[in-house]
Amino acid sequence: MDDLFRIEEKRKSAVDIVVDRIKELLIEKKLKPGDMIPSEPVLATNLQVSRGSIREAMKILSAYGIVEVRRGAGTFISSAANQKNFDPLLFRILVSDPDYKSLIEIREMMERGIVDLIFRNANDEDLKRLDDAMKEFDTIESQDMVDRELGDSADIEYHRIMGEITHNKIVSNIYNFIIDMFSPTINSSYGYKTHKAMHQAIMEKNYIKAMEMVREHTGVWSISHLKIEE
């Protein structure tokens, strides 16, 4: 019985020590994008791990897009412009096998938040970008034989611009991987009308109507998602 109350301390691996220290320094803003990371020998000495562990940790951080190795120059904290195809947060969400209700809720929550920030932060130039994207969408959808791939691409591009004109990089990044997650389920043939109505409300600066259309647009998407699943 006494054994039930024994705490067995979990020791971090040497690689985890390196990865966690980099993470801590980024959170504390002691490391910033573009900063050069000390050499392997220096890191190995300071963190009391082997150089092999340092190399393995850097491979992991490089795969996540956190660091970039510049041949002949050294290892640096990645800049915001350095984007990796592999997004660990998106991957974690996908392998968690989220249920249908959760997907609808996260989509609606994100869309409402994005529209709210557009009303707060977007300027006239931003709204023109959004309007131009909607006109491109309109042009594609007005064709007799609509190219669904082009329509879906225009739909996705519109949403990416929505994220950008919030002028909140954190929100925009999160929204981008949400878009990536939902892109296979986007079917512009179902969502075009409600999408256009939402856009018109944004352009007219009608906050209440825009929020109503977010919910309606999400509802239409959920129906199209079901049809894809079938």
Residues of the chain by 3-state class (helix, strand, coil), percent to 5: 70, 5, 25
**pLDDT in single tens digits along all 230 residues of the chain:** 444 454 454 567 889 999 989 988 888 888 888 899 999 999 999 999 999 999 999 988 887 778 888 888 899 988 765 555 556 666 666 656 667 677 778 888 999 999 999 999 999 999 999 999 999 999 998 887 888 889 889 999 999 999 999 999 889 988 888 888 777 777 777 778 888 999 999 999 999 999 999 988 887 766 655 544 44
Provide the phi-psi class of 74: left if phi over 0, else alpha when psi is between -120 and 50, else beta: left
Amino acid symbol at 46: N
Cα–Cα nearest to 128, from 159, 165, 168, 153? 165
Are 218 and 104 within 8 A, CB to CB? yes
Q: Which fold does the domain 14-77 belong to in CATH?
A: Arc Repressor Mutant, subunit A (1.10.10)
Domain boundaries, the chain: 14-77, 88-229
Q: What is the pLDDT of residue 4?
A: 47
Instruction: Specify the CATH number of the domain 88-229.
Output: 1.20.120.530
- Domains 14-77 and 88-229 fall in the same CATH topology: no
Beta-carbon count within 10 A of 230 CB: 5
Query: Edge-to-edge strands of the sheet including 67-70?
Result: 36-37, 74-77, 67-70
Amino acid symbol at 203: M
